[in-house]
Structure 1
């Protein structure tokens, strides 16, 4: 799998980005301020992520998604590790990520890779999304915020 930063001249992989965030308007807004990366293998798009700087020391993974055909093969772990390495290369100290209260698998995945829960933005998904979101039989209401502290080079 090869991961590369998408140049501004190349269209966003909206099909993948919308897997992780169903509002195209929001995806386009944060992607405009961040760096989009694409994972490919032999011309097939496997996954994507978007890094958005929050301040001089903190960057956020705003979106990370895999194609359905790429799930369960370790690509998500590779993609997340690449995002952490890229944040370190860009000289950030902290990487943040947010996910829904109903995203049970993602919460476990991020913690297994060293992320720690730091806050809850209550009713985030109720305030920002016009339609209710359900996952794992649970309404996605709250944003769980996690962070990863990068070791200095």
Structure 2
């Protein structure tokens, strides 16, 4: 069932966290429908508790995007990843490794949609960030 929107206080953080953990568990079990429902419910609560620009919200969006990608719902995945990217840049800055991870995920989704030019741009942007953070000689940079 959908959650009723409540006037939340800190007491609801444990409830929201439980929903998120339940979602990730369903996700790991391959129960995509229940995982998506729990991510969506957790997202509503996290938006209210932490604010829509929080890293916590970004984490849920990214998990939900990856799930949508597995379901071959690439358009939805890209929209979720675009919002994840915006929030991640806002919180960490454009050159952060977390931004690179989101860009990599976006590249995968663009590739699945046969949007190869967009995929190359996302992968190249990811690589620029990785090189800036780790150097050209790092094993983490291909």
Please confirm whether the aligned pair reaches a TM-score higher than 0.5, indicating the same fold.
Answer: no
- Give the TM-score taking structure 2 as reference length: 0.35
Larger helix percent: 2
Larger strand percent: 1
